[in-house]
Amino acid sequence: MKKIILVIFSPLFLFGCDSGGGNDNNPYIPNYTFTVDINVNLPSYSNLQFPSNAVYIPQGTAGARGVIVFNSGSGYLAYDAACPNQPISGCSTMIISGINAICPCDDEQYSLFTGLSSLQYPMKRYRVEVNLPNIRVYN
């Protein structure tokens, strides 16, 4: 009986873990290594103290076109601000619009809760560590 239970639950333990890195196979967004520390008590980032709010961190600091950090209400999410289904160009920096990010190249909307749209690639997600009032975003 113990062997049957072990055989049934073993695949769950082997394949049930998620690295949290998301889809790193996007051909349009290069993979950069960076670390950005955010203090939500500073005026530039104070919107992150409230659920369903996002802030944009400029390109020179992190990511291919900057980083969008979002308070989902149950945690913080961070995405590259580059349009995931467009080559890097002058129009490929996404714009925050409420709980969505919009790619100006094709007007596609991506949910900041999931990073998904109707197109092939989701928003590139980055890791987040929270130790309020500080948030660390890194890749």
The CA distance from 9 to 30, in Å, is 37
Domain that holds residue 82: 21-138
Within a domain: residue 13? Answer: no
Q: What distances in angstroms separate CA 28 from CA 32, 67, 83, 138, one per listed residue?
A: 13, 15, 8, 19
Within-domain flag for 16:
no
For residue 103, give the H/E element and its range. Answer: strand 100-103
pTM: 0.81
Q: Concatenated DSSP letters for 37-62?
A: EEETTSGGGGGGGSTTEEEEE-TTTS
Please report, for the domain that includes residue 75, its CATH number: 2.102.10.10
Number of domains in the chain: 1
Q: Answer yes or no: is 9 within a domain.
A: no
Residue 5 domain flag = no
pLDDT digits (tens, 9 = 90+) for 53-95: 999 999 777 889 999 999 999 999 999 999 999 999 999 999 9
